[in-house]
Structures are given as structure tokens and as C-alpha cells.
Amino acid sequence: GNSVTQMEGPVTLSEEAFLTINCTYTATGYPSLFWYVQYPGEGLQLLLKATKADDKGSNKGFEATYRKETTSFHLEKGSVQVSDSAVYFCALSDLYSGAGSYQLTFGKGTKLSVIP
């Protein structure tokens, strides 16, 4: 079945530091890949997505590249801010996985804390 593995947190960085959150996946079909962000006390929001190999998703200074050869979708940001403190979830949606079609499979989440 499908699965998503992301690095365990929590991750604590100083403001303006470089961020990488690793994400790898296992899927039987041709998944779309996502990063969702959950700010404290809120629901999940889509941060970025990529629908095919070599696509790069980007938003709010974050970016991730769909790497089919390494089955990875690592999240990066060059300079984090205190306001980026949140939990980040990597997810995949596999449209060709039979009974699981159209469902999102989430990683366990990585909590990021950015300190001034």
C-alpha cells in the first residue's frame, strides 16, 4: 500500500536559518505529492503540490521537487521566519491505487519551531 515517511521532529531553528524537511514515499501508481501546513489551533492548509516527476511546487518561499528516482519530495526554505512555526505534513494522492483512489495518505507530521 501507499505510505509516506517524513523526518521526525521537533525541529528547532533560528530565524533566517535554512530549512529542510525530508519526505519519502511508497506508492503503486503515479501519485501527486503535497505539503500541508498546520498552524497552532488551525486546520491543515495546502502549502504546495507537484503532480508529476521533476515538477517543483513553490509557495511563500517554500519549495519541493518531485523526485521519482529517489521517491522523495523534500521541503526547503532558504530563510525561515518565526511565523513559519507550525506542523508540516507530507502527503500523496494516488489516483490509480484501486480502492484507495483519490485518497490522501499523510506522513506523521514534523513540528517546526523558529526562534528569534
Partner 1 sequence: DADVTQTPRNRITKTGKRIMLECSQTKGHDRMYWYRQDPGLGLRLIYYSFDVKDINKGEISDGYSVSRQAQAKFSLSLESAIPNQTALYFCATSANRDTDTQYFGPGTRLTVL
89 contacts partner 1 (rule: CB under 8 A): yes
DSSP state of 60: T
- Work out which of 53, 82, 95, 115 binds partner 1, going by CB under 8 A: 95
Sign of CA dihedral 58, 59, 63, 64: negative
Minimum CB separation from partner 1 for residue 93, in Å? 4
40 binding partner 1? (CB under 8 A): no
DSSP-derived 3-state class of residue 98: helix
Residue 81 one-letter amino acid: Q
Specify the 3-state DSSP secondary structure of 6: strand
Contact residue for partner 1 among 10, 42, 70, 116 (CB under 8 A): 42
Tell me which residues in 62-81 interact with partner 1 (CB under 8 A): none
Does position 32 interact with partner 1 (CB under 8 A)? The reply is yes
Contact 53, 27 (CB under 8 A): no
C-alpha cell at position 91? 502527503
Say whether residue 108 binds partner 1 (CB under 8 A): yes
Q: Which residues bind partner 1 (CB under 8 A)?
A: 4, 32, 34, 36, 41-46, 49, 51, 89, 93, 95, 102-104, 106-109
